[in-house]
Amino acid sequence: MHTLWDDRFARRTDSIGSSAIRELLKLTSLPDVISFAGGLPAPEVFPIERFKEAAEVVLTEMGDLALQYGTTEGYQPLREMIASNAGKYGIQISADNVLITTGSQQALDLLGKIFINRGDRILVESPTYLGALQAWNAYGVKYITIPFDDDGMRTDLLEARLRRGIKFIYVLPNFQNPTGVTLSRERRVQLVELANAYGVPIVEDDPYGQLRYEGEHIPPVVVLDDEIRSKEVPIYSGNVIYTSTFSKILAPGLRLAWVIAPSEVIKKLVQAKQGADLNTSTLNQFLAYEVANGPWMDTHIQTIRETYKERRDVMLQALETYMPEGVQWTHPQGGLFLWATLPENISTTEIFPAAVEKKVAFVPGTSFFPLGGGENTMRLNFSCMRPELIMEGIKRLAEVIKQYL
Amino acid sequence: MHTLWDDRFARRTDSIGSSAIRELLKLTSLPDVISFAGGLPAPEVFPIERFKEAAEVVLTEMGDLALQYGTTEGYQPLREMIASNAGKYGIQISADNVLITTGSQQALDLLGKIFINRGDRILVESPTYLGALQAWNAYGVKYITIPFDDDGMRTDLLEARLRRGIKFIYVLPNFQNPTGVTLSRERRVQLVELANAYGVPIVEDDPYGQLRYEGEHIPPVVVLDDEIRSKEVPIYSGNVIYTSTFSKILAPGLRLAWVIAPSEVIKKLVQAKQGADLNTSTLNQFLAYEVANGPWMDTHIQTIRETYKERRDVMLQALETYMPEGVQWTHPQGGLFLWATLPENISTTEIFPAAVEKKVAFVPGTSFFPLGGGENTMRLNFSCMRPELIMEGIKRLAEVIKQYL
């Protein structure tokens, strides 16, 4: 039904999020559906008791501040804690380089707002995180894509693209959403060197960096970028804007994430954030600080790793056991997702209704390709379902796929 | 210092929030400064004990849901509660007409995102809420202003402006920020009729509607608009988008507000919100519902009214007692602010440093005028300071002003 409102919406709303995938995914919350579609952390690992204690402490000792407006930059002790943790990972920054955001989705939106002029080209992996596309579509962006393989973004194809004029490079180096693939150290170095050579900044999105289940830690891109700089400048002044989140290591219901960037970028982000939501929930920042500050956090992250590693292993085993020949999948060393590729003649969007009928769900891969493609791919989340349901769900999914072979 | 980042920022950042006023206001948080500058609720009225009980209940009974991602639209029981409360105020809507936002600042940002094409004209009161200007500047808006008097927006001047082509009208009808002035019932009706006649939607921002300390309740613009429509259409389909917030009646630290709008507008807002922060903190929505649902809320709002009425009365009395001749001020019937006008030759920006030196602060009025003006005006907040400090602060302010007469 066409209403008078339809003529009033801004042009940009034509490119803000198609709702097709949303409508599709609503089906996945039907009862009894084993859903590998979401990107949800397992509620079993939420530290509920610790949050209860934190709420008691925060409200008793500083309730008047926790319930009040806060500064746009974020709660200072939390910013300092994040800066200090970044130091452990090899990047020397101060709290001035940290902005607290309302989930890392807001970080992406604000980065779009301060960087993207209509028509600007952004380089993204293909496939890439859907939420980034949703955030930046509103700013009239053009995507230049770069393919991936088992070592992540094909940096051998990067230079040709940088020559075309790129506003920034968006990369998820660790256990990428949606593919689960990790960018190798060699490629990270190459990425940093080329980005610096062409004067193109990098946005590094690292929600899962601490959730590695095997293999060796690879330094974040922001650290490798920092290493190639002169250490004569004592303040952080790199070419990389780094974002991470409490959603996967504490609780997404807090909507708490952060950006690490040179202070002049933080200042612009702060101005943009003031117009976007004034400040991130003070209460939640106080709670997160109370919960995450101290040695408990490392133990907690270890628990999450063990839980998710088991689920990943079960999913890999289930795929091995049930999937027919011709189906391939990635072997993520961490994170929440793996990526399955079916024979080329099978469209995962077309088999989706049959899967939901069999009470199993996934995200069809096409959603993650900004310029199309990936019709025979799907994203499977392994963090949210208990092991026995993962086995059963993959079994059902394999049965559906076999019908289409 | 010019850095390479300066050349990378989008053009729109030139118009996002000048930081002059922010820098100025940082001075107001110095110790011993009696600040009438903020827009803060009084922490004395935060229901801290009730939040503690709510946190215990929410985390114990549904911690796994409260800490998880939620739907972009918002927590369904909270949406239903808001729809039901709207019914009490005379507007019949369902939860489908309600979107939960991360503070009403986010509502303003999302409205800008879905409605404003670069160059669009928005009609605003002059002066108007600074946060709305900050939100919409990012979308390349042009402001058309309309003056106010003691009965609010001068609707007799409205038609000439609507003829120029207006994307929407922004109005704060109750105890306006910054002036404290209330739009009369007659003018609300005129506003609604003209907006409908010219097919221009209205954005009604009503953060303080429930904080009336004297005089009779005047129906919100959205209700008056609804009254002139045929009741044959059972679903809400008005010309007004209404927004309000928990910030002034519960706690701003939650960052919780809502938009009421026709469902096709809600759908667009949901798409925009998905790209902006996915969803508003689930935990805070659960807490707000637990705290605000039921008869306690009315009693609580009554307590806030009594507290703020006393403070308003003290400020009015202090102004009467201490201010020299030639200084005028509004008499707000509710809300958080009043508006003072000094003799025309005095610039409130110029006297600001002297005021801070005397340990008293306000917001210079010019910030609230999108097209300039108001050099001799200031906004005074009366909600946040205890009565004895209000007396002392106004006394100091009067002394400063006398030096410039």
Distance from CA of B51 to the nearest CA of A (A): 8
Query: Of A4, A16, A66, which has the smallest distance from its Cβ to B272's Cβ?
Result: A16
ipTM (interface pTM):
0.96
B252 and A84 Cβ atoms separated by less than 8 Å: no
Which residue in the block uniquely carries the two structure tokens 């503690």? Answer: B52
CA atoms of A290 and B310, how far apart (whole Å): 36
Average pLDDT, chain A: 94
CA atoms of B153 and B15, how far apart (whole Å): 26
pLDDT the model gives residue A235: 62
Question: Which range is least confidently modeled, A10-19, A132-141, B64-73, B156-165?
Answer: A10-19
With beta carbons under 8 A apart, name residues in chain A contacting B115: 8-10
Which residue of chain A comes nearest to B75, CA vs CA?
A253
Query: Of B5, B8, B68, which has the smallest distance from its Cβ to A40's Cβ?
Result: B68
Question: Which conformational region is residue B90 in: left (phi greater than 0), alpha (psi within -120 to 50 degrees), or beta?
Answer: left
CA atoms of A288 and A290, how far apart (whole Å): 5
With beta carbons under 8 A apart, name residues in chain B contacting A282: 252-253, 255
pLDDT the model gives residue B20: 58
**Per-residue pLDDT tens over the stretch A63-90:** 999 999 999 999 999 999 999 999 888 8
Q: What DSSP designation does B334 have?
A: B
CB contact under 8 A, A268 and B13: yes
Half-sphere exposure of A355 (CA within 13 A, CB side): 29
Question: Which range is least confidently modeled, A186-190, A343-347, B10-14, B102-106?
Answer: B10-14
With beta carbons under 8 A apart, name residues in chain A contacting B56: 52, 55-56
Domains of chain A with CATH codes: 4-47+298-404 (3.90.1150.10), 69-295 (3.40.640.10)
Burial of residue B320 (CB within 10 Å: 0-12, 13-18, 19+) is: exposed
CA atoms of A132 and A129, how far apart (whole Å): 6
CB contact under 8 A, A56 and B60: no
Distance from CA of B252 to the nearest CA of A (A): 5
Tokens, residue B175: 């105890």
CB contact under 8 A, B46 and A52: no
Q: Is the alpha carbon torsion for A260, A264, A266, A272 positive or negative? A: negative
pLDDT the model gives residue A13: 86
Which residue of chain A comes nearest to B13, CA vs CA?
A114
Q: What DSSP designation does B229 have?
A: S
Query: Of A67, A106, A272, which has the smallest distance from its Cβ to B277's Cβ?
Result: A106
Average pLDDT over residues B312-332: 98
B262 and A3 Cβ atoms separated by less than 8 Å: yes
Confidence of residue A7 (pLDDT cuts 50, 70, 90): confident
Distances (CA, A) of A73 to A70, A127, A257, A272: 8, 32, 12, 11
Tokens, residue B391: 């007396």
Distance from CA of B182 to the nearest CA of A (A): 25
Confidence of residue B11 (pLDDT cuts 50, 70, 90): confident
- Taking 80 as the threshold, does the pLDDT of residue B210 lie above it? yes
Kindly report the CA angle at A9 between A4 and A11, in degrees rounded to 5?
Answer: 135
Question: Which range is least confidently modeled, A216-230, A362-376, B367-381?
Answer: A216-230
CA-closest candidate to residue A334, choices A368, A303, A309, A298: A309
Average pLDDT over residues A153-177: 97
CB contact under 8 A, A68 and B59: no
**Per-residue pLDDT tens over the stretch B230-256:** 666 556 778 999 999 999 999 999 999
Tokens, residue B234: 């059972």
Q: What DSSP designation does A123 have?
A: E
Contacts of A100 (CB under 8 A, 6+ apart): A73, A74, A75, A78, A79, A256, A257, A258, A280, A285
- Taking 80 as the threshold, does the pLDDT of residue A3 lie above it? no
Q: What is the pTM of this model?
A: 0.96
Phi, psi of A17 (to 5 degrees): 35, 110
Q: Is the alpha carbon torsion for A44, A46, A49, A55 positive or negative? A: negative
Which residue of chain B comes nearest to A280, CA vs CA?
B255
pLDDT the model gives residue A30: 75
Confidence of residue A16 (pLDDT cuts 50, 70, 90): confident
- Taking 70 as the threshold, does the pLDDT of residue A398 lie above it? yes
With beta carbons under 8 A apart, name residues in chain A contacting B131: 274-275, 278
- Taking 80 as the threshold, does the pLDDT of residue A397 lie above it? yes
**Per-residue pLDDT tens over the stretch A249-284:** 999 999 999 999 999 999 999 999 999 999 999 999
CB contact under 8 A, A68 and B254: no
Average pLDDT over residues A218-222: 95
With beta carbons under 8 A apart, name residues in chain B contacting A247: 69
Distances (CA, A) of B48 to A58, A283, B280, B290: 10, 12, 21, 13
CA atoms of B286 and A128, how far apart (whole Å): 32
pLDDT the model gives residue B236: 72
- Which amino acid makes up residue A275? G
Chain length of chain A: 405
Query: Of A22, A55, A272, which has the smallest distance from its Cβ to B16's Cβ?
Result: A272
Distance from CA of A344 to the nearest CA of B (A): 31
Q: Which of A11, A102, A249, A250 to mutate to test the interface with B (most CBs of B within 10 A)?
A: A102
Query: Of B8, B117, B139, which has the smallest distance from its Cβ to A115's Cβ?
Result: B8
With beta carbons under 8 A apart, name residues in chain A contacting B10: 113-117, 120, 139
Q: DSSP per residue over A190-243, as a string?
A: HHHHHHHHHT--EEEE-TTTT-B-SS-----HHHHHHHTS-TTS-S---SEEEE
pLDDT the model gives residue A17: 60
Average pLDDT over residues B58-66: 97
Q: Are strands B328-329 and B337-341 parallel, antiparallel or unpaired?
A: antiparallel
Which residue in the block uniquely carries the two structure tokens 């980065």? Answer: A111
What b/e string do you get for B340-372 counting C-beta neighbours within 10 Å, with b at 16 or more?
A: bbbeeebbbbebbeebbebbbbbbbbbbbbbee
Average pLDDT over residues A106-119: 97
Question: Cβ of B114: how many Cβ atoms within 10 Å?
Answer: 23
- Which amino acid makes up residue A314? V
With beta carbons under 8 A apart, name residues in chain A contacting B245: none
Q: What DSSP designation does A324 have?
A: P
Distance from CA of A105 to the nearest CA of B (A): 5
CA atoms of B166 and B162, how far apart (whole Å): 6
